[in-house]
Structure 1
C-alpha cells in the first residue's frame, strides 16, 4: 500500500478543486454576443479512470496502485471519498468568451450536491449560499461558485457564468466522452478577433526579429531563417483563418491494452486547406515500394506523402540552400586542404540532386530498417518528378564519391520498378581498408559485415538508397516484389511503425557490454507481451480533415507503466 503524509493528500485535493475552478483565466467586463464555447473539455468518469489506473498498476508491477490512490482520497476527505459525485458519468468543462477575454465553467455529475459539499467543507475557509448558489471560499482566499442544474453541479469563478452553462453538458461535449478518456476540442473559428490579432502580432514580431541579419551570417543562412519565419507566419495565419476545429483526445483501450492519442484537424469548408487535404482521399493506388517495404521492414518503417503548398516548397528550398552553405563552409574550414576541392565537388553533387525535391508539389518518401540476422539493412525511396537531368546528377554524385574515396569499388546494374528501368550504382569498400584500428574494424564488422556498402538507384519517378548489411540485395528483392504486385490502397500522408523487441535485439548484438544489460532488461519486459510491442504514428484523411494518431501497444505500456505508476504515487 502507498503511504504518504496526510498533508500531501490535502494539498493534492485542494489543487484539484482550485484547478477545476480557476484553470482558465480572466473575465472581462462586457458580455459576449454568444455563449458558444471556444473550447470544450471532456474527462471520463471516476470509475473509468479507476479502471485505467488499475491496469497501469498491473502492467507496472504495482497491482495495488488503484487501491492506494483510493485510500489517499479517503484520507484527504476524512473517509468520505467522493460522496455525492456520480462516478459513472464524465466531467465536462467549457471555455467561453467574455468580451475579448474568457471565463470557464466545469460541470460535475452529481447525485447529491450537499454530500459533495460536505466532502470539501473541511478543506475550505467558508461555504455560504445565496438563492441556490454556493460560494466556496478556499483557504487562499479565492472564491468559487457552485450551483446545481439538474443532475449536474456547475462550478465557476463568478455566479453569472453558472447561468450560461447548458442544461445538458453532454450535448456540448458531443461524441468526445464516448471516444476518449480525456479530450479537448478547440473551436478556432470562434476565437475572438482581438485574440487573433494579438497572436498574429506576436508571430509577426518574431518574424521581424528573424529577418535581421546576424553578425557573420552568410546570405544563404539568413535567407533560410527569413523563409522559415515567413512560413511560420503564414501557417499561423492559415490556422487562425481557415481552421474550424482542432480536437485532441487520449484513450486507453483496456480490452486490447493500447493507448491512443489523436489530433483531428478540421478546416472550414471551401478553404484552400480543405481543398488541399481533400486530395488525399482521391489519390490513385500506391505504386511505390511502400507496401513491400512495409512488409520487409519489421524493425522500423516510415512513409510520408504530402501535398506541399508553394510557401512550403519555398521553405524546403531555403532549407536546402542553408545546408548547402553550411556544408561548403565546413569544407573550407577542413584541416585537409589537399582534399577540399574533392569534398566541395561531392557536396555540390549531393545538393544538386537534392534540389529536385522542391520542384514537385507532392513530397513522397519511404524508409525502412530490415533485419538481416543480427544486423540490419536500411532501404529508402524518395519520389521525384521524371527528369533526364536527375540521372546525370546521380551519375555525377557516384563519380564524386568514387574520386573522393579512392579504393571504393563501383558496380552498376539495371533492374526495374513499377515505372520502368532503375539504374543501381553500388559503392563498396572492404572494412580492412577503411581503418587500421582494431577496435574500429571490430565495430564496423559487427554492423556491416566484411565491407561497407552504399547503393543508390535512379528510377523514372523515384530515387532509391540502400545501406547497412546486404542493403543492395534487400532493395532488389523489394523492387521485384513491388513490380509483381498490383496497386494497393492510397498511401497515408504519414505512417511510421517501430517494433521495439526486434529492434532492441539487433541493437543489443551491435552495442558494447555497458549498454547491453539495460537493453536485455527492456527486451525481457517487452517479451511479456509478444507481438504487441509497436509504436505507431500515422496521419490519414478524416471525414472533414486530417487525423493524426499515436498508438502505444501493450508491451510499450509495460515499459512506461512504472514511470506512470511513480507519478501516481508521487501525489
Structure 2
C-alpha cells in the first residue's frame, strides 16, 4: 500500500541509538560533503517515486565503519574496567540491549559515500534482516514510516527525509530514493574487514574525488592563506615564502594521495588500545617515490631495542632523492624564516645574531649532508633502576669531525659567561671515537636533580668519523660504549619497520618513587604490578608499497596506571573536602 508523505513527522528524542547514529551520521556527512561541490542532487519527492539523481557513480570516496554491538560491548567493558570506571561499560551494555532490538549485533554498521553525478551521496548500512520491525519500534519517536510501491520505506529525521530499503540482511538508508540503487549488493563484503579490525574507522579514496573538486579544496586553502597574509601588518617575507612552500607541499599531498585510512580499536582480546593510520600514494607519483625511497636498512644502533628499557627510540631507513629535494626546500625556507626572526629580536646584538645564525646553519648543513648519504640511523636508550638513571644515544652523521668542531666553537663562545658549563675535549679515545666532557654545577636548591645526578651534571660526547654519541652521567658511559661497539656490526632489519618508539612506565615510576615518595606514583606502581605489561606506550612506522603504516599503541598497564592515578586524585580531592 502506498501512503501519503504528509504523514512523515519530525523526529523526537529517544530513537534507537544505533539507528540514530547511522541516520545522524548520514545527515552529517551529507551536510559536510555537499559544500565541496556546486552540484546538488537533492531528492524531489514525486508521487510514485521520481528522482533527480542520474546514473553516473563512483566507488565509495569515503567508507566509515562502527564495530558490531557485540564487539563494542566487549571492548568498552574492558576499557572502562582498565581505567577504573567499570560502570561506563555496564551503562553501554544496558543501553545496547535496550535499543538494538531487531539489529544483528554481530555485524558492523557502515556508511559509504559514492559520488553520483559529481555529488557526494551518503548511504548508511544497518545490519538487520527486517527493517520494518526496527522502524515499527521507532514509531513513537519518528511516527509511522511510509511505504512506497517498490517497498522503499520513508521517514523523517528532523528536517531531512530518509529513504530505506531492505537489501538481503541489511537495511540501506539514503537521502535520495534513487541513490539506494547504488548501494553495495553485499555490504558485508565492503565493511566487514574494517568493522571487525577497528571499533571505528574511516577510509578515504582520494582519487575517486574528481580533480575539479580537489582543485576547489586547494583553492580554498590558498584563499585562506592569502587572506591571513593580508591581515598581517608588515608581514615577514621569509615567513610568507615558507608558508607558500608548505601550501605547495600540501597541494602535492592532496593531489597525489591514493588512499588514507584511520582506525581506532579498543582491543579487548590483546588488552590494548590501538590507533592505526595507513597512507598510500598514487603509484608512479613523486609522493610515491618519496615513500618508496624509505626502506629499512641494517642499523648500528638496534641494540637500544631492549625489553628491560624504560624507553627507547630507534629508526634506520634509506632516504631517496625526492625526499632529499623536498627536505632541502623546507630547510632553506625555515632557515630564511629563522634568520628573519633573529634579526627582529632586541635580546641579541648584531654580532650575536650572526653567530647564532651561523651555528644553526652549520648544524642544519651537517644534518642535510648526513641525509644526502642516503640513510638515517639513530638509537637512544633509557634505563632506570632504584636511584639510578642511564641514558645514551648514537647517530650516524656524515662528518663526526664537523660535529666536534661545532661543539668546540660553542664552548669557545660561552667560555667565561656566568654559570656556563665547562668543556673538556679529546679527554680520551675509545675504538676511534674521541671522547669529550661537558660539566655543569647543579644549584644547591635543586634537591631532586641532585638526587639524580649529584652536585654536577656530566654529559659525555663521543665523535667518530661517521657517528656522534651522547651519554648522560658517568653511569651511562657503559651504554655509550655498547653503542660504539655495535657500530662495527650493523644488524639487518627483520621486517619493514622504519621507526619505533617505546616507553615502559613501570621502571620510570619505580625510579621516580626512589627519588621521592609519592602516593599517586605508589598507586600507579601497584596497578602496574597486576597489569599485563609494564605500562607500554609504543609507536611504530612500517614501509608498504607506495606508502606507510603507523601504529600508536597504549598497553593494558598504561591504562591501569591512568585509572589508578585518576582514582588517587579523586581520593585526594575528597580528603581535602573533609
Q: TM-score range by the shorter chain?
A: 0.7 to 0.9
1:261 and 2:275 aligned: yes
1:88 to partner: Cα distance = 1.2
1:33 and 2:70 aligned: no
Q: 2:366 aligns with which of 328, 350, 356?
A: 356
Aligned pairs for 1:109-124 (under 5 A) are 109-124=127-142
Contact 1:297–1:368 at 8 Å: present in 2 too? Answer: no
Contact 2:400–2:464 at 8 Å: present in 1 too? Answer: no
Q: 1:135 aligns with which of 154, 157, 168?
A: 154
Q: 1:478 aligns with which of 478, 483, 487?
A: 483
Aligned pairs for 1:205-284 (under 5 A) are 205-208=223-226, 215=233, 222-231=237-246, 233-281=247-295, 283-284=296-297
1:263 to partner: Cα distance = 0.6
1:182 aligns with 200
Q: CA offsets, 1:227-260, max 9 Å, x none?
A: 24412x2332222222211111222332221221
2:525 aligns with 523
User: How far, CA to CA, are the matches of 2:118 and 2:398 in structure 1?
Assistant: 49
**Structure 2 length normalisation: TM-score?**
0.80
1:461 and 2:463 aligned: no
Contact 1:286–1:487 at 8 Å: present in 2 too? Answer: yes
Q: 1:379 aligns with which of 380, 392, 396?
A: 392
1:407 to partner: Cα distance = 7.3
2:221 aligns with 203
User: How far, CA to CA, are the matches of 1:123 and 1:496 in structure 2?
Assistant: 50
Contact 1:285–1:491 at 8 Å: present in 2 too? Answer: no
Contact 2:60–2:114 at 8 Å: present in 1 too? Answer: yes
Change (3 A) 1:83 1:393: closer
SS at match of 2:21: helix
The range that moved more, 128-137 or 198-207, is: 198-207
2:544 aligns with 542
SS at match of 1:284: coil
In the comparison of the two structures, how many residue pairs are matched?
Answer: 529
1:133 to partner: Cα distance = 1.0
SS at match of 1:23: helix
User: How far, CA to CA, are the matches of 1:97 and 1:304 in structure 2?
Assistant: 40
1:509 to partner: Cα distance = 4.4
Contact 1:44–1:180 at 8 Å: present in 2 too? Answer: yes
User: How far, CA to CA, are the matches of 1:254 and 1:407 in structure 2?
Assistant: 50
Change (3 A) 1:466 1:327: farther
Q: Structure 1, unaligned stretches of length 5 or more? A: 1-6, 566-571
User: How far, CA to CA, are the matches of 2:324 and 2:114 in structure 1?
Assistant: 34
User: How far, CA to CA, are the matches of 1:383 and 1:224 in structure 2?
Assistant: 31
SS at match of 1:166: coil
SS at match of 1:87: coil
Change (3 A) 1:448 1:160: same
2:299 aligns with 286
1:489 to partner: Cα distance = 4.2
State the Cα RMSD in Å.
Answer: 3.5
Change (3 A) 1:66 1:141: same
SS at match of 2:289: helix
Change (3 A) 1:305 1:224: farther
1:423 to partner: Cα distance = 1.8
Q: CA offsets, 1:96-145, max 9 Å, x none?
A: 1134431101111112222211222211134211121111123x343222
SS at match of 1:195: helix
Contact 1:43–1:181 at 8 Å: present in 2 too? Answer: yes
User: How far, CA to CA, are the matches of 1:17 and 1:90 in structure 2?
Assistant: 11
**Structure 1 length normalisation: TM-score?**
0.81
SS at match of 1:505: helix
1:171 and 2:189 aligned: yes
Q: CA offsets, 1:161-193, max 9 Å, x none?
A: 111101101222373234333221110111122
Q: Structure 2, unaligned stretches of length 5 or more? A: 1-11, 35-39, 42-51, 568-578
2:165 aligns with 147
Q: CA offsets, 1:52-80, max 9 Å, x none?
A: 12222332445454443343356xxxx6x
1:550 to partner: Cα distance = 0.7
The range that moved more, 357-366 or 498-507, is: 357-366
1:439 and 2:445 aligned: yes
User: How far, CA to CA, are the matches of 1:551 and 1:365 in structure 2?
Assistant: 21
1:303 aligns with 314
2:437 aligns with 426
1:445 to partner: Cα distance = 0.7
Q: 2:508 aligns with which of 495, 503, 512?
A: 503
User: How far, CA to CA, are the matches of 1:110 and 1:520 in structure 2?
Assistant: 49
User: How far, CA to CA, are the matches of 1:304 and 1:321 in structure 2?
Assistant: 29
User: How far, CA to CA, are the matches of 2:475 and 2:487 in structure 1?
Assistant: 19
